[in-house]
Structure 1
């Protein structure tokens, strides 16, 4: 079977299985790049792809500047494609099956108290001076992300009916199209209540959008729009030591939970990781921080022994 037709068949199958548009786009881009590489090397059929072909492709990507995380993502997508080829009986064995993931040098950025105060104070000043809609919204976005660790897609799809002000919970539509309910703090309840009241006054109570976060035309905010918000804010803040993105807020949320001494199981539930091993990776990353905290607060420090 020709690779180009096999890839299209695979993408059609993903759409049929209701995979998210974002994931399908990822498959499409990676597999097209892989197809181009194979064509350049005169490998036209699915059956002609060998483990060595895939290794050479990943090495080619590394030489083009891809880091370990990116090449591992490409390997994961290619492996899924060949699993489908086995499923429809085009091949008997997955050529990507035994290729090991590259070791990743993982450095996760998190915001300090200084970063957080600088961002919130910036929007507070605009709220006071200009009463601008975007300042109220963006301030609430930051507080929501810091208080929940929501993914960008979850933030954008959050609706007012998902926010239970009485029981202090929000229900999110997370990965694998799974709805989950998580607790929120009284601080966040007050912030969202205040923001909702502002939106009712700004747009009119009868015109309140079903979505919590909208643009100034009262349309649902897109992930791309939020990314642009953070790009603009990054230029203004000019932080040298941390990347200003939605995922950094999620990492910060997880970091603060781990540093507080919360159990990995509880962190897993709040982060909504499907696998506890993912949570443990994050917790393990901050081992040095735990050592520093131990050196600073260990009870033996203040005992005269």
Structure 2
């Protein structure tokens, strides 16, 4: 089968499976890149892709500056693609599937977090603009930081958040996470106050209340890229040297703060909506001081006369 037809077939199948637009974009972006690499190497049929060729492509990605996490993400999508043509289309067998035996690269476990000083610096920057200009961007981006720290939400959960998902009376927020799984998370008193203030501003700013919480100046929902640009702009202004300014760093920071305050692993897993506790355990293995303190405080041996 020609690769270009294979890509079209794969896209149709993913659309049939009703994957999210964000997921479909990620899949096809990588597969189009891989297709281009195949054409440059005179590979036009999907059957001609071998394990050696796929490894060669991944190695080139690494040489171009992709870190192990990015390379693994690309391999993950390639595995989904070739597994489809093995199990559904029977183009490959388990022995001929080129990605079957390719293992993921070992990743350096490093989770960056903001310091309290850095968080205050970002908030003060937006506060000064709020009081001076009273612009939508200043209010929105100030509240955005409060929201990310107070909810530990992902980028996708943030851009898709609707006002109808926010229950200020019962202090509960419904977020649509990975694989479109809706979850309810509690809203702290501080986050509720910030929500109320921001909503009042939005109601006065727009003639008609926007559907989503985070919008552009025309009231349209922020895209993934638009939200990334917010932090790209802030990065230039803040000039932090030791931490990446991104949506996910706020999520890591929220987890770090909870662990250092003594929160238990089960609660953190629920608040972060980790489907697998292994990711939560990574946080605890990195920031084990709080875990050690809790162990010292609650260890059963403390109360035994032995």
Partner of 1:264: 265
Structure 1 SS opposite 2:70: helix
CA distance in 2, matches of 1:57, 1:127: 48
Corresponding position of 2:301: none
Q: Report deviation, 1:65.
A: 2.0
Structure 1 stretches of 5 or more lacking a match? 300-305
Deviation digits for residues 144-180 of structure 1 (CA, Å, limit 9, x no counterpart): 1100011112111111111111211100111101111
Alpha-carbon deviation of 1:290? 4.5
1:165-180 mapped onto 2 (5 Å cutoff): 165-180=168-183
Correspondence for 1:198: 201
Aligned to 2:106: 103
Deviation per residue, 1:32-53 (Å, 9 max, x gap): 2222333343433322322222
Change (3 A) 1:223 1:32: closer
Tell me the CA shift for residue 186 of structure 1: 0.5
Contact 2:113–2:243 (Cα < 8 Å) also in 1: yes
Residue of structure 2 equivalent to 1:302: none
Query: Could you say which residue in structure 1 is the equivalent of 2:248?
Result: 247
Task: Give distance in 1, aligned partners of 2:250 and 2:272.
Answer: 12
1:6-34 superposed Cα distances (whole Å, 9 cap, x missing partner): 12211121122111222222222222222
Aligned twin of 1:89: 90
2:7 equivalent in structure 1: 7
Q: Secondary structure, in 3 states, of the residue corresponding to 1:193? A: helix
In the aligned structure 1, how far is the partner of 2:43 from the partner of 2:114? 47
Aligned twin of 1:303: none
CA–CA separation in structure 1 for the residues paired with 2:46 and 2:206: 55
CA distance in 1, matches of 2:263, 2:7: 44
Among candidates 157, 160, 169, match of residue 160 of structure 2: 157
- Length-normalised TM-score, structure 2: 0.89
Q: How does 1:1-305 map to 2 (within 5 A)?
A: 1-86=1-86, 87-93=88-94, 94-204=97-207, 207-287=208-288, 290=290
Deviation string, structure 1 residues 250-291 (Cα, Å, up to 9, x no partner): 11112112222222221111111121112222322323x558
Residue in structure 1 matched with residue 302 of structure 2 by the alignment: none
Write the distance in 2 (CA, Å) between the matches of 1:180 and 1:261.
24
> Match of 1:91, SS?
coil
Q: Matched residues in 1 for 2:79 and 2:32: separation? A: 14
CA distance in 1, matches of 2:229, 2:47: 43
Contact 2:140 2:198 in 1 (8 A): yes
**What is the TM-score with the length of structure 1 in the denominator?**
0.89
> Over the residues paired in the alignment, what is the CA RMSD in angstroms?
2.0
Give the number of equivalent residue pairs.
Answer: 293
Q: Mind listing any 5+ residue stretches in structure 2 that lack a counterpart?
A: 298-306
Distance 1:263 1:22 in 2: 32
| CA shift digits 1:105-150 (9 cap, x unpaired) | 1322211100111111111122222222221111111101100011
